[in-house]
Amino acid sequence: MADTAILVKRAPWYDPSRLSRFGREARRYPILPVIFLIAVLVIPAAFAPMIAPHNPLEGELSKRLQPPVWQEGGSWDNVLGTDKMGRDVLSRILYGAKYAIIVSLSVIVVSGVIGVALGLIAGYFGGKTDTIIMRLVDIALSIPPVLLALAIVASQGPGLKWVIVVIVSVLWSRYARQVRGEVLSVVTQDFIARARVAGCSHFRIIFRHIFPNVVNTIVVLATLQVGFVIVLESSLSFLGAGIPRPTPAWGVMVSDGRELVVTAWWVAFFPGLAILLVTLSLNLFGDWLRDRLDPKQRNV
């Protein structure tokens, strides 16, 4: 009996070569992560008072737990529904982006300055200086941020500034350790030895010859850490150790809706979705930036 060929008709859109090309192009030009960041974080944070349909702190009890517009009982006046106080969920998410940007930028800048400076000093001078700074890094890495936040809340009360202090006290060590490792590989190069022979000061060698060689690492690390900061701030706010109520922070909104997941799922779902989209977009963008700034990855 002769063998017969079985022909399988492919879907018109399925082309392995086309899909692989699309994957490569998407990795080269991460337009989707950038669009998500602009749509979910940057624009709401900058223009929340103009684009938010309602005041995020004022609600109507007659409209409490109103579902989204596409469900029965929903209204276009509250597109994503309302919470248990009758406050508009969409407006609170838009205003929550402002606090996410304030915390993330403040933490990244402060922790970056502290960590980069200590990492440069430790890697360049070595010896006892390196030992002392690295032991401080080990201590900072061993402190649970949630436990530290709870201790501060118990003594000082919750607040935006204490959230920044807690996250900075944890995050600076990551910069210091990464930069110190990069500096150790740079100081052995010939151009550093020539700079020392030429009589350059320590300050000039560090900031004129070493720092430009670790900038790429700092930029990539900062991009990747923004998502971590947003998740950590939301976690602290969720536990009551971060931004206090009734501030429309995303973690606070998720905490308000955790008891209503079955009856009013939208209260916690949409702010959680905002955290997911922003964090995922930042991680994808950070991966792309790392590949573009790393010569070895770029050649591959």
In a domain, 65, yes or no: no
Residue 53 falls inside a structural domain: no
Q: Report the C-alpha gap between 203 and 105 in whole angstroms.
A: 27
Residue where the block lists tokens 């740079």: 186
What tokens were used for 194?
Answer: 């020539």
Whether residue 195 is contained in a domain is answered as yes
Exposed e or buried b per residue across 122-156, where buried means at least 16 C-beta atoms within 10 angstroms of its C-beta:
bbbeeeeebeebbeebeebeeeebeebbbebbeee
User: Cis before residue 246, ω within 30 degrees of 0?
Assistant: yes
Report pTM. 0.79
Residue 26 lies in a domain: no
Ordered DSSP codes for 55-110: -TT---GGGTTPPPTTSTT-BTTBTT-B-TT--BHHHHHHHHHHHHHHHHHHHHHH
4 inside domain: no
pLDDT tens, N- to C-terminus, the chain (300 residues) = 444 444 444 444 444 455 455 445 545 555 666 666 666 667 777 777 788 888 888 878 888 888 888 888 778 888 888 888 888 888 888 888 888 888 888 999 999 999 999 999 998 888 888 899 999 999 988 888 888 888 887 777 778 888 888 889 888 999 999 999 889 888 888 888 888 888 888 888 888 888 888 888 888 888 888 888 888 888 888 888 888 888 888 888 888 888 888 888 888 888 888 888 888 878 777 777 777 766 555 554
CATH of the domain at 251: 1.10.3720.10
Whether 196 is in a domain gets the answer: yes
| Number of domains within the chain | 1
Domain that holds residue 229: 37-46+88-299
242 within domain boundaries = yes
Query: Which residue type is seen at 36?
Result: F
150 in a structural domain: yes
